[in-house]
């Protein structure tokens, strides 16, 4: 069974996001994930507002981090989303965006251990347990939330081998920032190692994809190009190599950024589009999603740009793409 989610950046007003997410819900999308960066709108406030304006879609941070918020704050915030939504919260957490932490004077130490301990504390606090915890990075004495007992699924945002293994070990699911089956062959192997003795079929492998769908393929590709320019330029060398992108194309793109964004967008090649996005007509996207599910993906999460017209794209996803996967 393949599930469909959708990702939104927290760079729109709460009203706009609530409208988009309600529309996603009406179009059969089951999960909405909101990104968390300190300089955008507060993701938990947004989720609480959206919770009151939707009825069935699950609502998650995609992803928050354990550095700009403490574990008890995270527990209280996600429990509030869960209470407001009638049990629809999902807790996405990752190590966070190192670059912005440096600007904030936040020390990004022991990311794996910090995520591991935070997940344990958040889980126990949201279940309503009294928590005393003496870890390597978290030390808590007799903390307890007064929000009842809430069981909120945990999804770990992961890319690196260590974080992927950890996601398998401690998560109910993972959110992997990738759009190509080759990346999931790499990721699923590590997630399985982490899940170890447990039943991997119960683990939700989320593909956080750059997605662009339109009735016309060229329009979909044009909308994807700016996002793909950023993703390609920000990808580590091993990922560029994994996708067979020629060194000279990659260098041309990164140096084009120095001349301006328009030049960079022009330097995006077809190889880059297919490595770093799901893109094209609904039929093109269906084919690419089949490739992802073949590689072990169980939740497809279309993200930026969605397409040249976001609402039309959501409708295409709901009316033309999701029905193809109803039986899987």
Of 197, 200, 228, the C-alpha closest to 212 is 228
| 161 contacts ligand F42 (rule: CB under 6 A) | yes
Name the residue nearer to ligand F42 (CB basis): 157 or 305. 157
Among residues 113, 254, 263, 274, the one that binds ligand F42 under rule CB under 6 A: 113
Question: Please, what is the minimum distance in Å from the beta carbon of residue 83 to ligand F42?
Answer: 23
Among residues 62, 168, 171, 280, the one that binds ligand F42 under rule CB under 6 A: 62
Segment contacting ligand F42 (CB under 6 A): 13-21, 61-69, 119-127, 238-246? 61-69
Chain position whose Cβ is nearest to ligand F42: 160
H/E element, 136: none
Of 287, 269, 266, the C-alpha closest to 278 is 287
Phi, psi of 302 (to 5 degrees): -60, 135
CA distance 128 to 149: 5
DSSP notation for 234-274 = HS-HHHHHHTT--HHHHHHHHHHHHH-HHHHHHT--HHHHH
Name the residue nearer to ligand F42 (CB basis): 95 or 168. 95
CA distance 265 to 224: 10
Question: Please, what is the minimum distance in Å from the beta carbon of residue 244 to ligand F42?
Answer: 22
User: What does the block give as tokens for 176?
Assistant: 């992997």
CA distance 285 to 274: 11
Question: Please, what is the minimum distance in Å from the beta carbon of residue 219 to ligand F42?
Answer: 26
Among residues 12, 28, 30, 37, the one that binds ligand F42 under rule CB under 6 A: 37
Name the residue nearer to ligand F42 (CB basis): 203 or 208. 208
Question: Please, what is the minimum distance in Å from the beta carbon of residue 159 to ligand F42?
Answer: 4
> Do 258 and 267 contact (CB within 8 A), yes or no?
no
Among residues 47, 63, 154, 295, the one that binds ligand F42 under rule CB under 6 A: 63
Give the β-pairing of 204-213 and 278-280. parallel
Give the β-pairing of 139-143 and 3-8. unpaired
Segment contacting ligand F42 (CB under 6 A): 17-25, 151-159, 268-276, 286-294? 151-159
Site for ligand F42 in 72-101 (CB under 6 A): 94-97
Among residues 51, 175, 279, 306, the one that binds ligand F42 under rule CB under 6 A: 175
Segment contacting ligand F42 (CB under 6 A): 140-148, 160-168, 197-205, 221-229? 160-168
Question: Please, what is the minimum distance in Å from the beta carbon of residue 242 to ligand F42?
Answer: 14
């Amino acid at each position: 069974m393949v599930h469909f989610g959708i990702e939104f950046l927290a760079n729109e007003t709460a009203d706009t996001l609530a409208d988009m997410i309600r529309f996603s819900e009406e179009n059969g999308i089951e999960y909405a994930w909101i990104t968390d960066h300190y300089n955008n709108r507060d993701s938990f406030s947004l989720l609480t507002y959206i919770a009151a304006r939707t009825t069935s879609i699950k609502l998650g941070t995609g992803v928050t981090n354990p550095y700009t918020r403490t574990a008890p704050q995270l527990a209280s915030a996600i429990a509030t989303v869960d209470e407001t939504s009638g049990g629809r919260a999902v807790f996405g957490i990752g190590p966070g965006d190192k670059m912005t932490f440096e600007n904030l004077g936040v020390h990004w130490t022991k990311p794996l251990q910090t995520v591991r301990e935070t997940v344990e504390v958040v889980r126990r606090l949201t279940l309503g347990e009294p928590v005393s915890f003496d870890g390597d990075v978290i030390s808590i004495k007799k903390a307890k939330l007064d929000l009842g007992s809430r069981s909120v699924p945990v999804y770990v945002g992961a890319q690196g081998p260590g974080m992927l293994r950890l996601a398998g070990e401690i998560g109910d699911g993972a959110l992997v920032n990738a759009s190509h089956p080759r990346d999931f062959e790499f990721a699923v192997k590590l997630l399985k190692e982490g899940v170890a003795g447990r039943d991997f079929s119960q683990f939700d492998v989320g593909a956080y994809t750059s997605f662009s769908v339109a009735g016309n393929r060229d329009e979909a590709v044009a909308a994807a190009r700016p996002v793909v320019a950023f993703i390609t330029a920000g990808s580590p060398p091993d990922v560029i190599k994994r996708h067979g992108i020629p060194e000279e194309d990659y260098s041309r793109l990164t140096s084009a950024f120095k001349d301006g964004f328009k030049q960079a967008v022009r330097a995006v090649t077809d190889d880059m589009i297919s490595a770093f996005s799901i893109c094209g007509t609904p039929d093109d996207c269906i084919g690419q999603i089949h490739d992802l599910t073949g590689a072990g993906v169980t939740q497809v999460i279309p993200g930026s740009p969605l397409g040249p017209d976001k609402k039309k794209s959501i409708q295409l996803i709901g009316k033309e793409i999701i029905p193809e996967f109803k039986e899987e």
